[in-house]
Structure 1
Amino acid sequence: MDSWRGWLKESYGKKLSKLHAWNAWIIVLLTVTGIILYIPSIRGDLGAFRVIMKQAHIVIGFVSILLIALYVPLIPKHWKQIRNKLSQRWNLIIVLGLLVGWSITGLILWQFRSLPPIWSNISLILHDLFTWIGIPYAVYHSISRSRWLKAMRSQEKKAAAAQASAELEKRIAAASGTEAEGKMAPQAFVEYLKKSPISRANFLRLIAGLVLVFGVGPAFYRWMKSVSDTGGDELEKLVGNDGNHMVPAPIALAESNPPIGGGGKGEFRIYTVTDIPSFSSENWQFVISGLVDKPVSWSWEELLKLPRKVQVSDFHCVTGWSVYSLTWEGIPLSELLKIAGVKSKARYAKMYSGDKVYTDCLSLEQARLEDVMVAVLMDGKPLPQQLGGPVRLVVPKMYAYKSVKWLQAIELIEEEHMGYWEVRGYDNDAWVPGKRLT
């Protein structure tokens, strides 16, 4: 309460100065935590720390919203104060727009489980867009308004004023010759031509802007291209660059080619906890073991000979994005369990990824759901390496961390197993809320 009273007693200028400084630090913290959370290659290394980092990012976001609320009463006076400074007004509009945009989309992403998936998908894209624009703008703003650059501009203005004064005195003193006619003396004219048409301060600002444009521009273009892709182009590219060597390629059923779902709608964000593994049909195998009547092992060719089915379902990631209307083709997990025979003691199915690190677990009731599938094709194409191929688990009604990529083994066990992300804070029962399912 005392701190709030102290804030109310602060002068307008001090409030504005403090809010500016606090907001700058908050943006730095949000940028650092956001980038760490975004980088796919370090997700696995972060482990449980990633969950803490995510919560920290949310808390810092709420602090940012609080700063906006504290600034709102000051807006009328601040706007009036800069009424003759068009560049500052535009800067204020841009900064406020970015902060409000980040806040609204951040709140939606925070509560994405309670909202329709279209909300979180759009918010995720907009949140990224604000970041692509906002961070370079903040960096440029910091450089262009830094103390040393302001000092440089001040020195240049003083030097220019002194030179102008000297030139004026020189012209007044000269009452005849070429100078009396309004012309410069020969050597003075040479010195004039040597002067740069742009000041050092403005040149440095220009360089900073160009570095940001050429440094961020290509990555921003690739991001825009991936966002605008409806899914087909991305899949074609991933299949074309696939690092797996699986022979023969699975031949799609009629319902898969063309896909009865019309093709996936949305963008996959590729996350892994290890380097993406590659596989060859020469030494690849798929096994079911543990509490089963008959442990079984299939080679690639043997697995492809098993009867497959086609289904259309959505794919939801726990980070908020979704891909809709994917056409999957594969073997129902329930059918594979029937082949192996499940012993009465078995209660859970533990899944092993071919990356030799990732595991997860389903109860037998979950594993026997009719839409839980061991998939080999997606939208009529062989599952590419980066999307979990050659074989991945598909559990449509659960978040994607349950759909184990590069699936190579299933072990029937009696006690529940906590998977890779579950021991790092994620829910073991990862059901997608009903309102998010279509």
Structure 2
Amino acid sequence: MEQDRKRRNASLGKRLVRLHAWNGWLVLALAATGLLLFIPELRGGLGFVRVTLKQAHIVLGIVSALIVLLYVPAMRRHIRQLRGKPRQQWNLGVVLALLLGWIVSGVVLWQFRRLPPALTNAALWMHDLLTWVGVPYAIFHAVTRSRWLRVKRPAARTADAVAGGEDAGRPAERKPIVPLGERVGRTAGRLREAAYTRRAFLTWSVAGLLVVLVGPKFARWLFSGSGMDRAAPGTPAADANRMVPAPTPLPESAVPIGGGGKGEFRIYTVVRMPEFDSDRWTFALKGLVEKPGQWNWEQFLQMPRTVQVSDFHCVTGWSVYKTTWEGVPLKRLLDEAGVLPRATHVKFYSGDGVYTDSLTLEQASLDDVMVAVLMDGKPIVRDLGGPVRLLVPKMYAYKSVKWLQGIELIDSEHIGYWGRNGYDQHAWVPGMKPKQVSI
């Protein structure tokens, strides 16, 4: 019976070691792919593999969930083995909480097209929070449990070695008589104490380094709500654009009829953000229209504007609700230009010189598609796509072209930047596609 018990324990131990190793490598791979997806500066450079990277992250998450399922049958016995070991119990609890939180929030983000935006918004925040906490914890755990930090029990010294130690050479009559076992115990204790002191020093050094490196960024993320550097809408000191005069908001916008946007914008770009000034800024409408036109900043501000309250949804899972937007309805702009019968699509040009996208003429004619200049009564700042950006509320935000400076009516479909990199060309938010629109 005793041998069977020992054999079962040994088998359990080997199984746990394998699961621990697999889980460690998976967490490393998930952290690497997740950070590549998260860091805004890498979005442009990795655009051509972003969809593949996202799919790899999802597959790794599924495998991680399977590893947790493989652990479940052994969990009760493992917990029994950890009785009287509070540190190991604490570590197990933290790891399981992190893994379960990552898995649940990850599944929600994976299936975001089938779920309401409010749920995916919460899941993204939770996923980010667990990453801010979990990745540093995993690094700390890996480093402090590494072999070079393990404390080796010192071997007992022989009687000759002890006798030939620091007391060697002294007159025999002055040397106190200490039992050999006690002397060996003292020496071993001193060595053990030195080893633990070294381990404690290195452990606290690793912890301090992680706090210094991660702490400020985590605090900024926690208190800003997104972790991205962001500017308050319409704050002149925060705006890199120099547009004079500033647009004067309509009464419904000056005091936002939507009550102000609920949520935080995350700032993404595929290239370095452009800067604009009113002396050189222009807006053009061209292509298959009867009356093409070009406007400078002051002329553009003279166009009649309307106000609407719309939500803003990003394909990465976050949303900003009930924002009050003010601008020129695209439908009216196209009607005044006189769209020719051959035109089937509307192409949009960003002032960054790289980003483009398009809508079908049917999509572009929806009442809430807007060329926006104000948000919650304030000018749209550069970081949020100002001075002028497209707004397509019923589609994901990558269709709402930032730094909009050109519109062209064309007779064929144009695949935009993210469409060429694997994203859906018709980016309807689930449940928001109007019935009268064919595609």
Q: Which TM-score band (shorter chain)?
A: 0.7 to 0.9
Which residue pairs with 1:299 in the alignment? 296
Per-residue deviation, 1:117: 1.2
Looking at structure 2, the residues matched to 428 and 323 of structure 1 have their Cα atoms a distance apart, in angstroms, of 22
- Deviation of 1:237 after TM superposition, in Å, equals 7.9
Task: Give the residue type in structure 2 aligned to 1:77.
Answer: R
SS in 2 for 1:376: strand
- Count of aligned pairs between the two proteins: 409
Alignment map for 1:85-100 (pairs within 5 Å): 85-100=85-100
TM-score relative to the length of structure 1? 0.87
Provide closer, same or farther for how the CA distance between residues 236 and 409 of structure 1 changes in structure 2, counting only shifts above 3 A. closer
Point out 4+ residue stretches in structure 1 off by more than 4 angstroms.
173-180, 195-198, 236-239
Equivalent residues of 1:398, 1:432 under 8 A apart: yes
Structure 2 unaligned spans of 5+: 1-7, 178-185, 435-439
Contact 2:234/2:378 (8 A) holds in 1 = no
Is 2:395 aligned against 1:390?
no
Indicate if the aligned counterparts of 1:238 and 1:386 stay in contact, CA closer than 8 A.
no
Deviations 1:200-242 (A, max 9, x none): 111111100100011110000000011189x9x9525864311
Deviation at 1:422, TM superposition (A): 0.6
Query: Residues of 2 paired with 1:285 and 1:16: CA distance?
Result: 64
1:435 CA drift (Å): 7.0
Normalising to structure 2: TM-score of the pair?
Answer: 0.87
In 1: Cα distance, 2:314 partner to 2:296 partner: 30
What do residues 353-408 of structure 1 show as CA deviations (whole Å, max 9, x unaligned)? 00010000011111111100000000011000000000000000111011000000
* 1:247 aligned onto 2:235: no
Give the root-mean-square deviation of aligned CA atoms. 3.0
Change (3 A) 1:21 1:359: same
Assess, with a 3 A threshold, how the Cα gap between structure 1 residues 237 and 392 changes in structure 2: closer, same or farther. closer
What is the alpha-carbon distance in structure 1 between the residues aligned to residue 111 and residue 17 of structure 2? 33
Please name the residue that 2:182 is paired with. none
Aligned pair 1:25/2:25, yes or no? yes
Give the CA deviation at 1:11.
2.4
Partner residue, 2:69: 69
1:171-186 pair list within 5 angstroms: none
Structure 2 CA distance for aligned equivalents of residues 51 and 418 of structure 1 = 16
Q: Which string of whole-angstrom CA distances, capped at 9 and with x for unpartnered residues, describes residues 300-356 of structure 1?
A: 000100100000000000111100000000000111112211111111110000001
**One-letter amino acid of the counterpart of residue 235, structure 1:** A
Q: Distance in 1 between matches of 2:96 and 2:213?
A: 25
Q: Structure 1 CA distance, aligned partners of 2:351 and 2:198?
A: 57
Structure 1 alignment gaps of length 5 or more: 1-7, 181-187
Counterpart-to-counterpart distance in 1, 2:102 and 2:423: 25
User: Alignment partner for residue 426 of structure 2, among 426, 429, 436?
Assistant: 429
Residues 170 and 179 of structure 1, relative CA distance in 2, 3 Å threshold: farther
User: Equivalent of 1:317, from 299, 314, 317?
Assistant: 314
Counterpart CA distance in 1 for 2:132 and 2:257 is 36
What SS does structure 1 have at the residue aligned with 2:25?
Answer: helix
2:203 to 198, 202, 205: 205
Q: Which residue of 2 aligns with 1:368?
A: 365
Of 323-332 and 421-430, deviating more is: 421-430
Q: Which residue of 2 aligns with 1:49?
A: 49
Alignment-derived partner of residue 339 in structure 2: 342
The one-letter code sitting in structure 1 at the alignment partner of 2:207 is G
Tell me how far apart the structure 1 counterparts of residues 272 and 147 of structure 2 sit (CA, whole Å). Answer: 44
* Higher helix content, 1 or 2: 1
**Residue 408 in 1 paired to residue 405 in 2?**
yes
- Assess, with a 3 A threshold, how the Cα gap between structure 1 residues 436 and 341 changes in structure 2: closer, same or farther: closer
In structure 1, C-alpha distance between the alignment counterparts of 2:390 and 2:244, rounded to whole Å: 20
**2:346 alignment partner, SS class:** strand
Q: Distance in 2 between matches of 1:436 and 1:240?
A: 38
Other-structure match for 1:82: 82
Q: Percent identity?
A: 55
- Residue 331 of structure 1 aligns to a residue in which SS? strand
Alignment of 1:347-358 (within 5 A): 347-358=344-355
